[in-house]
Amino acid sequence: MSHAPEVLGDAPDVADAERLDEATGKKLVKVAGAVAALGLLLCIAAYATDAKRFAFSYLTGFMWVVTIGLGALFFVILQHITKAGWSVAARRHMEWVSAILPVAIVLAIPVILGAHDLYHHWMGPQAASDPILVKKVAWLNPGFFYARLAIYFTLWATLAWWFARTSRKQDESGDVELTHSMQRVSAPSVLLFALSLSFGAFDILMSLAPHWYSTIFGVYIFAGSVVSALAVLALITVGLQGGGWLKRVSTVEHQHDVGKLMFAFTVFWAYIGFSQFMLIWYANMPEETIWFHDRWQGSWKAVSLTLLFGHFIVPFCFLLSRHVKRHKRALVAAAIWMLAMHYVDLYWMIMPTLDTGSAHPSWIDLAGLLGPLGVLALVIACKASRGPLYPLRDPRLAETRRHVNL
Amino acid sequence: MAHTESSAGSATPAAAAAVAAAVDVATRPFALVGHFESPAQLYRACETLRDAGYEHFDAHTPFPVHGLERAMGLPASKLPWVVLCGGTAGLSLAVWLAYYSQEVWYRHNIGGKEAFAIPSLIPIFFELTILLSSFAAFFGLWAMNKQPEFFHPVMQHPSFHRASDDLFFIAVEARDPKYDPVATRALLETLGTRELAEVAP
Amino acid sequence: MSAAKTPDPSGEIRNDLMEDPRERAPLVLGGQNFHTVSNKVAGIVEEKTSLKWILGLGLAMSIMLILVGSIGKLVHTGIGVWGNNHPVGWAWDITGFVFWIGIGHAGTLISAILFLLRQKWRTSINRAAEAMTIFAVMCAGLYPAFHVGRVWFAYWLFPFPGQMGLWPNFKSPLVWDVFAVSTYATVSILFWFVGLVPDLALMRDRAKTKLRHTVYGIFALGWRGSHRHWLNYERAYLILAGLSTPLVLSVHSIVSFDFAVSLLPGWHTTIFPPYFVAGAIFSGFAMVMTLLIIARKLVGLEHLITMRHLENMNKIMLATGTMVGYAYGMEFFIAWYSGNEYERFAFINRAIGPYAWAYWTMVSCNVIFPQLFWFKKVRTSIPAMFVLSIIVNIGMWFERFVIIVTSLHRDFIPSSWSYFRPRLVDISMFAGTFGLFFTMFLLFCRYLPMLAVFEVKGVMPAADPHHEPAAGLGSVGSGKGGHGHGAH
C-alpha cells in the first residue's frame, strides 16, 4: 500500500479550539432553518389536503430521522463500549446527530394525532371481531401503545442527552474520569437500546400490518438505522474536512473508516433482509408471506427491486473499492444514495398499508419527508455551530491523530 | 550452503564451480547483506537507500514492519485484482452449475418452487464465490511471491537464520545500477549495518 | 524493561488490569523482547516431550477409540443404533453437528473479525483458536458424513457429473450445508496455513535436527521475510479475513436455515440466522477459554496470554451471551404476539413441558450465569471464568438440543407425540468426538507454534519503526538465548 499518511498539524489545545466560524455557523443554521420552515409549511398544507395520507407520509419521514438518530446513538455508545480510539472526532459528530432524539418527542405529536389512521387495523372498531387481533389485545391497545412510545422516546432522548452532555463536560474539565463513567454506562445502555429499538420497531412499524410478525424485524430496522447514520457521518466528516476544519484530528484515514463501516453495515442490512425474506418465502406460510406478497403487487414490485439493487447490489459493488472510500466526492455520493435508499426502505415498509396494490407517490410524501429532514438538519447545524467540532480534551485524542489504515 | 548450482547462470564458467566461493563473490556477488537490531534503524536505512536512488534492495524482517514499503518506495500489492477475478469466476461457476443442474439436466418440482429459484440458490452462489476468491488469494499470494523457493542467495548470510527471529536484514543487490562494492558498503556502514557480507548468487 | 527481572511474574500480571484511556496497555508483559518471545513459543515445541503431554494424549486417544468403536457400530448396523425415531428424526446427531460447528466460529471471529476491527490483542490467541476451528469442523463433519448411512456414498452429497445423471437439490438447506461447511473448512485451513508460514520459517531456522529443518522447511515454502513478500502477504491476510467474515456468518446462518426454512413451530422464525451466529461465537469463545486457561498454565504463557486477553474474551462472551438471551426473549415474545396457537404452544411447551428441565438448563447456563461477567472480579478470576466457560459449553449444547428435540417431539398430530431418549451410540459418539478434538489439539500444541509469534512481535512497542525511545530495546538481550525460559 502506498498511501502516505497525511501530516497532521500540532496537537490541539483548548486555546485554539476548533469551532465553526460565526459566519459559517449562522449560514448553516439559516439554510437548515429555511428547509425546516419550508418543510413544516408543506406539512401543514399536506395535512389540510389529505390528513390520512399525510399521517403515513409523515410517519415515513419521521421514522427516517428517528432511525438516523438511533443509529447515531448506537455509534456513540459503541465507541465507548469498545474504548475506540480512531473515532474521537466522529463520535462528537454522531452526538450532534443523536440530538434529534430529544426533539423527536415533539416531532412525534403528528404521529400520535394520526395514530387512528395509521393503526386503524387494530385501533379501529373492526379489531374486536378479528380472531387474531383479539389474542393480541393485551399488547396492541392504544393506552399501552402510547405508554410504550413514551418510554422509548424518553429513554432514547435521555441516553442521547446524557452521552452528549458528559462528552461536552469533558471539553471543559478534561476529566479522564468522565471517560470511565461513559464507558461504565455504555454497557447497560446498549442493552436498553437493543430492547427499546426492537420493541419500538415492532410497535411503530410492524404493527402497521398487525397480523404479520417477524422476530428479526428489530434487527432489520437496526441495520438500516446504522447505515443511514453512518451516511450522515460521512457527509459531516467530508463536509468539515473539505471546509478546512478538523485538520488536526481527522484525515482521509478516518473518512476511509467511516466508508468501511458504511459498507459493512450495508452488507449487514442485506444479510438481515435476506434472512427475513428468504425464510418467509421458503416456508410460504400465508400469514407471513402476505407481507411480502403485498410488496410484490403492481408498482410495489419495482420498489422491492429498487431496494434489492439500490440498497445492496449497487452500493456493494461501488463501496468495495478502497479508492472510492478514500475519495471525497465518491463517498459523499454513496452517502446521499444510501440515505435515499433508507427512505425507500421505510416507504416500502410503511406505505403499502395505505397504497394497497400499487405505489402512488404524491407531493404529500415529499412534505412528510421534508419537515423532519429540515428539523434534523437544523439540529445538526445548531449543534455544529455552538460547540467544538471534536472532543477537545478526550484522553484518546492523541491516538486518533495517529490513526492510519493498514 | 550449496550455492554452486545456482551460480551456473552467472558469468563464471561451470568449470569454475570448484573455485572457492570467495572468488565467486568477489567477481559477481548477488547482494550485500547486513542487519540491524531494530525496525527503526532498518526503516531509516531503507529511506536513505531509496533517496540515494537504489531500487533493487530488499528488507528481510521477522514480522511485517508497517510503512516500510514507503521507505522502500514499493508500489501496493496487486493481489486484490487476482481475488476479484477469482470471485467473479466463483460466482459465474455457481450460476452456471445451478442453472444447468437444476433447470436443464435434472429438473424437478420440489416444494412448488421454480427449478431455478434464485432466493434458494443464493447460499450456493455465495459459498462458491468465497471459495474461489480464497483460492485466488491463497495461490495468488504464493505465485506473486514466487514461492515455494527453498533456496535464495540471501539465506547464505551467516546470521540469516535470525531474520525470522530478531534481526532486521537489508540486502542491496549487485544488479542495481547504483551498486558499488565500496561505496554501498560504506553507505550501509554509516547507517549502522552490522555483519555486512556479500553473498554469492 | 527492568520489570524483566521481577522474580514474581504474577506481580506483572496484576498490573495488567490498570485502565488509562490516555494510552493503550501493553499486550506483552514480563519485559519480553523479540528473541524471548520466539524462545517462549518455539520452546514449547522444541522442549523434550513432557510426561503430562503423553498422558494427556493417551487419555484423548483412548476417548477417540470410543468414537472409532461407535462409528464402527454405526456403519456396521446402520443409523438405527441412534435413538432417532418418529417424530424425533433428528436429535443428538445434529445437536452434535451444530455444537461443533458453532465451537469453530470463535476461531474465525478472532482471526478474521477481530483483525478487521484492529483488535491487536487477538494476536496472542488467534493461532490456537483457528486450530480449534479446524478440529471442531472435523468433529462436526463426522455427523453428516455418517448420517448418510452408507458412508462410502457420502460423496453423492456433492454435485458431480455421474453416469446416473443425478444432481443434488440445490434448493435444499442440507445441500447448502455441504457447500457452506466444506467451504468453511477449506478457507479456515488456507487462512490458518497462511498465518503459520512465517512461524514455520522461524521453526525451520531454529531447528537443531535435520528432520525438523526439512519438515518445517518444506511447509515454510522458503519464507524469508522479504518485505516485498510481506506486502503481498499482508494484503492476502486482509483479504482472507475479509472473506472469512461473511463466510463465518453464512455458515451458521445456513446451519440455522436447516431448521428455519421448515414450517415447524420453534424452528421457523426469522431471527434464527443472526441468533445462531451469536450463539456459535458464544460457545466457541467458551471453548477457547477452557482450552487456553489450561494451556496457558501448563506451558507458562502468562506473559503473552495475559489477564487482559482473558478479560476481553469474557466481555465478548457476555456480549454474545446477551445477544442469545435477546433472541430467546424475542422468540418468546413473537410466539405470543403472532397469535398463532402452534407457535404459542411450542414455546410454552419448552418452558413447562416434558423438556422443561433442558430448557431451564439452557436458559440458566447461557443467559443467567454469564451475567456474572458484569463484575470485573469475576471477569478477572481464573477459577470463575473456567467454571463459567464450562457452564456455557454445556448450555450451548442444550440450546441445540432444546431447539431440535422440543420442536420435534410434539408433532402436529398428538397421537405421534413422544419423548426422545438417547441410546448408547448417541452418547458414546458425542463423547468420542471430544477425544478426536483433544487429540488433534494436543498434537497441534506439540508440533506447531501455538501463538502467532510474528504477529505478537508486531504488536510490541519496539516493532513500530517510529517508536524511537524503545528502538533497539526490542533486541536487548537477544544474544542471551534462553532468557525467557524462566516460567517453564
pLDDT tens across B75-125, in order?
999 999 999 999 999 999 999 999 999 999 999 898 889 999 999 999 999
Residue with the larger pLDDT of the pair C16 and C57? C57
Range A281-305 average pLDDT: 95
Q: Is C482 on the interface with B (CB under 8 A)?
A: no
Residue C470: pLDDT above 90?
A: no
**pLDDT at residue C23, rounded to an integer:** 79
Beta bridge partners, B34, equal B170
pLDDT tens across B118-154, in order?
999 999 999 999 999 999 999 999 999 999 999 999 9
**pLDDT at residue C60, rounded to an integer:** 97
In the structure grid, which three cell numbers stand for residue A132, read together?
Answer: 387474531
Mean pLDDT of chain C: 89
Q: Say whether A218 and C20 touch across the interface (CB within 8 A).
A: no
Q: Is C464 on the interface with B (CB under 8 A)?
A: yes
Q: Say whether B76 and A282 touch across the interface (CB within 8 A).
A: no
Contact A237, A258 (CB under 8 A): yes
Contact B31, B154 (CB under 8 A): yes
Q: Is B80 on the interface with C (CB under 8 A)?
A: yes
Q: Is C133 on the interface with A (CB under 8 A)?
A: no
b/e C228-249 (16+ beta carbons within 10 angstroms → b): bbbbbbbbbbbbbbbbbbbbbb
Instruction: State the Cα–Cα distance between residues B183 and B190, nearest whole angstrom.
Output: 11
Computed from CA positions of residues C139, C141, C147, C150, in that sequence, does the dihedral angle turn out positive or negative?
A: negative
Instruction: State the Cα–Cα distance between residues C457 and C454, nearest whole angstrom.
Output: 5
Q: Which residue has the cell 422464525?
A: C269
Q: Is C246 on the interface with A (CB under 8 A)?
A: yes
Instruction: State the Cα–Cα distance between residues C181 and B123, nearest whole angstrom.
Output: 12
Q: Is C22 on the interface with B (CB under 8 A)?
A: no
Angle value at C-alpha A297, between A292 and A298, nearest 5 degrees: 150
Instruction: State the Cα–Cα distance between residues B2 and B17, nearest whole angstrom.
Output: 11
Partner residue opposite A406 with nearest CB, options C22, C234, C331: C234
Dihedral-angle region of residue B67 (phi above 0 means left; psi in -120 to 50 means alpha; beta otherwise): left
Residue spans per domain, chain C: 29-457
Range C286-309 average pLDDT: 90
Partner residue opposite A275 with nearest CB, options C19, C20, C270: C270
Query: Of C254, A257, C112, which is closest to residue B137 (Cα–Cα)?
Result: C112
Domains identified in chain A, total number: 1
Residues in chain A: 406
Residue of C nearest to B144 (CA): C232
Residue of C nearest to B42 (CA): C465
Q: Is A406 on the interface with B (CB under 8 A)?
A: yes
Instruction: State the Cα–Cα distance between residues A171 and A111, nearest whole angstrom.
Output: 37
Q: Say whether C170 and B102 touch across the interface (CB within 8 A).
A: yes
* DSSP tag of A311: I
Beta bridge partners, C461, equal none
In chain C, which residues have their Cβ closer than 8 Å to the Cβ of B40? 464-468, 471-472
3-state secondary structure of A250: coil
Give B18-61 as a 3 state SS string: HCCHHHHHHHCCCEEEEEECCHHHHHHHHHHHHHCCCCCEEEEC
**pLDDT at residue A69, rounded to an integer:** 98
ipTM of the complex: 0.93
Chains that touch C (3 or more CB pairs under 8 A): A, B
In chain C, which residues have their Cβ closer than 8 Å to the Cβ of A187? 374
Q: Beta strand pairing status for B194-199 and B168-173?
A: unpaired
Output the CATH code of domain C29-457. 1.20.1630.10
Q: How far is CA A161 from the centre of its chain?
A: 16
In the structure grid, which three cell numbers stand for residue B134, read together?
Answer: 480464497
Q: Say whether A2 and B119 touch across the interface (CB within 8 A).
A: no
Q: Is A4 on the interface with B (CB under 8 A)?
A: yes
Strands of the B31-36 sheet, one edge to the other: B57-60, B168-173, B31-36, B194-199
Instruction: State the Cα–Cα distance between residues A68 and A80, nearest whole angstrom.
Output: 19
Q: In sequence order, what are the residues at sequence separation of 6 or more whose Cβ sits closer than 8 angstroms to the Cβ of residue C80?
A: none
pTM to 2 decimal places? 0.92
Q: Say whether B65 and C206 touch across the interface (CB within 8 A).
A: no
- Residue C201: enclosing H or E segment and its boundaries? helix C173-206
Q: Say whether B70 and A2 touch across the interface (CB within 8 A).
A: yes
Contact C369, C387 (CB under 8 A): no
Instruction: State the Cα–Cα distance between residues B103 and B94, nearest whole angstrom.
Output: 13
Q: What is the dihedral of CA C226, C119, C252, C442, to 10 degrees?
A: 70
**pLDDT at residue C20, rounded to an integer:** 81
Q: List the domain range (segments joined by +) for residue A159.
A: 4-402
Instruction: State the Cα–Cα distance between residues C218 and C220, nearest whole angstrom.
Output: 5
User: Which range, of B11-15, B76-80, C223-227, C478-482, averages the lowest pLDDT?
Assistant: C478-482
Q: In sequence order, what are the residues at sequence separation of 6 or more whose Cβ sits closer than 8 angstroms to the Cβ of residue C334?
A: A213, A214, A215, C269, C343
